Amino acid sequence: MPRALVIVLDSVGIGGAEDAAAYGDAGADTVGHIAEACAEGRGDREGLRQGPLDLPHMTALGLGLACEASTGRLPPNLAPISPLKGAWGYGVETSNGKDTPSGHWEITGVPVTFDWGYFPDTIPSFPAELTDALIARGQLPGILANKHASGTDVIDEFGIEHVRTGKPICYTSVDSVLQIAAHEETFGLQRLYDLCKIARDLCDPYNIGRVIARPFVGSVETGFKRTGNRKDFAVFPPSDTILDTLVKAGRSVVTVGKIGDIFAHRSTGEEIKPHGNDACLSAAIDAMGRLPDGGFVFANLVDFDSEFGHRRDIPGYAAALEAFDRRIPEIEAALREGDLVIITADHGNDPSWRGTDHTREHTPILAFGPGMKADKIGRRESFADIGATLMDHLGFPALRKGKSWFMVQS
């Protein structure tokens, strides 16, 4: 019985979304602009990386061709390597939004057809009745920030006052989110999680997709730094995803990284949540090594987004892509005959773009596995085609959304 692995390279978009202008993102192109920057020397950083973007394994899987199909431009140093080793194409997001839950839910067969709620880019951003209730129920002396902000900048701006007063740092972005940052030691990690649960309840009437706990450590002398103990409190997907179908059928499901949080821990099977891209990828590879027939591993690698995209760090993003690429042979070595791997993304986050928010982009679809021929998947009109193809591969009928590309050889 076949098995499957999906790896979401969080925010690794490949440009070209037709509705990008509606999101203020016309011309954004995460991979393309990183490749161009590296070719021009803007991706160099001493002690980290130098030179053109070097992704030989993903290029052999068709990444450059997927970029070219999406935008009409072949990024520097991503020319196709012959012979290709995988099937390639790109996905078009149909969900309303460019956020993490929308992208992941659509991948699993449930596009977001409703409009998320958002907090305005004003000061204050949050309604007074929400913050008053949060302060009262959380027994807080008050809150700080109350605005749109970068997660690292807002800690630099308010960290000292937070430690002095005990007031948590509450901020948002163009995504449907309320984020709360607090010091793990002086405020307390569990207290932060408990506060986010209160905020999750308070955000429901506003149709806010996620409340995110953003713990940090440090001091005035050393500076402040976020830790890996982030936790997302999301709403449930509006209908059954492929995860629900697989779990109800008794199939083994392993979710790695923040997948459990994204799906509000519904039908997420064995959850593994290490810190960092490398640790998450190792966990996914290890899970494939013990996965029974018919099983599914679903992994998210968040560092591309959180560490480099939002921080507009081109060299860091390029180095992270190259680090992932070097480990593709390990993924291949963990596969058995009939296995299917799909590498994709949930949205873009162009590190060369203005601001610090996600960008509305197409996403790559790179599929491979033992016995599968190299082929052109082409343009997929919804991320849900990934879920439909997984269901086809694992022996289930597709959900209501998405079409399988029937690429797996028998």
3-state secondary structure the chain: CCCEEEEEECCCCCCCCCCHHHHCCCCCCHHHHHHHHHHCCCCCECCCECCCCCCHHHHHCCHHHHHHHHHCCCCCCCCCCCCCCCEEEEECCCCCCCCHHHHHHHHCCCCCCCCCCCCCCCCCCCCHHHHHHHHHHCCCCCCEEEEECCHHHHHHHHHHHHHHHCCCEEEECCCCEEEEEEEHHHHHHHHHHHHHHHHHHHHHHHCCCEEEEEEEEEECCCEEEECCCCEEEECCCCCCCHHHHHHHCCCCEEEECCHHHHCCCCCCEEEECCCCHHHHHHHHHHHHHHCCCCCEEEEEECHHHHHHHCCCCHHHHHHHHHHHHHCHHHHHHCCCCCCEEEEECCCECCCCCCCCCCECCCEEEEEECCCCCCEEEEEECCCHHHHHHHHHHHCCCCCCCCCCCCCCCC
Q: What pLDDT shows up at residue 409?
A: 39
Q: How confident is the model at residue 15 (pLDDT cuts 50, 70, 90)?
A: very high
Task: Identify the weakest region by mean pLDDT among 73-77, 295-299, 348-352, 394-398.
Answer: 394-398
Q: What pLDDT shows up at residue 408?
A: 42
Q: What pLDDT shows up at residue 367?
A: 97
Q: What is the mean pLDDT of residues 29-53?
A: 98
Closest residue by Cα to residue 253 from 243, 261, 263: 243
Q: What pLDDT shows up at residue 129?
A: 98
pLDDT, one tens digit per residue, over 247-258 is 999 999 999 999
Q: What pLDDT shows up at residue 374?
A: 86
pTM score of the predicted model = 0.92
Residue 183 to residues 90, 133, 138, 153, Cα–Cα distance (Å): 40, 22, 16, 15
Q: What pLDDT shows up at residue 410?
A: 37
Q: What pLDDT shows up at residue 144?
A: 98
Spatial neighbors of 29 by CB under 8 A, at least 6 apart, are 13, 14, 15, 16, 67, 71, 73, 348, 350, 361
Q: How many CB atoms lie within 10 A of CB 229?
A: 16
Q: How confident is the model at residue 406 (pLDDT cuts 50, 70, 90)?
A: confident
Q: What pLDDT shows up at residue 16?
A: 86
Residue 9 to residues 100, 305, 390, Cα–Cα distance (Å): 11, 8, 18
Specify the CATH class of 128-233 in words. Answer: alpha beta
Q: What pLDDT shows up at residue 400?
A: 85
d(CA 62, CA 143): 48
Residue 404 to residues 75, 78, 120, 246, 261, Cα–Cα distance (Å): 28, 27, 39, 17, 27
Task: Identify the weakest region by mean pLDDT among 79-83, 200-204, 335-339, 354-358.
Answer: 79-83
pLDDT at 407 over 70: no
Percentage of the chain modeled with pLDDT above 70:
99
Q: Where are the domains of the chain?
A: 4-113+238-394, 128-233
Q: What is the mean pLDDT of the chain?
A: 96
pLDDT at 337 over 50: yes
Q: What pLDDT shows up at residue 203?
A: 98
d(CA 300, CA 298): 7
Q: What is the mean pLDDT of residues 307-327?
A: 97
pLDDT, one tens digit per residue, over 127-180 is 999 999 999 999 999 999 999 999 889 999 999 999 999 999 999 998 899 999
Q: What pLDDT shows up at residue 196?
A: 98
pLDDT at 108 over 80: yes
Is residue 19 a contact partner of residue 361, using CB atoms and an 8 Å limit? no
pLDDT, one tens digit per residue, over 283-299 is 999 999 999 999 999 99
Where does 4-113+238-394 sit in CATH, by number?
Answer: 3.40.720.10
